[in-house]
Amino acid sequence: MNIFNFKAEKTNGDIVSLESYKGKVLLIVNTASKCAFTPQFEDLQKLYLAYKEAGLEILGFPCNQFGGQEPGTSEDASSFCRLNYGVTFPIFSKIDVNGENEAPLFQFLKEAAPFRGFDESNISEKLLKLMISDKNPEFLLGDSIKWNFTKFLIDQKGNVIKRFEPSDEPVSFAKEIEKLLG
pLDDT tens-place string over residues 68-108: 999 999 999 999 999 999 999 999 999 999 999 999 999 99
Per annotation, catalytic residue among 25, 28, 35, 103? 35
CB 98 within 8 A of CB 65: yes
pLDDT recorded at residue 128: 86
pLDDT recorded at residue 138: 85
pLDDT recorded at residue 149: 97
pTM: 0.95
Type of residue found at 172: S
- The two beta strands, 56-62 and 15-17, are unpaired
> By three-state DSSP, how is residue 170 classified?
helix
Domains present along the chain, CATH in parentheses = 3-181 (3.40.30.10)
CA distance 36 to 135: 14
The residues, any chain, with a CB within 8 Å of residue 4's CB and separated by 6 or more, are 17, 18, 19, 21, 22, 158
User: Which of 115, 180, 177 lies closest to 150, judged by CA?
Assistant: 115
CA distance 21 to 6: 11
pLDDT recorded at residue 122: 86
> By three-state DSSP, how is residue 164 classified?
strand
CA distance 176 to 63: 26
pLDDT recorded at residue 137: 87
Average pLDDT per consecutive 10 residues, the chain (182 residues; last block may be shorter): 95 96 98 94 97 98 95 94 95 96 97 91 88 86 93 98 95 96 92
The verdict on whether 35 is a catalytic residue reads: yes
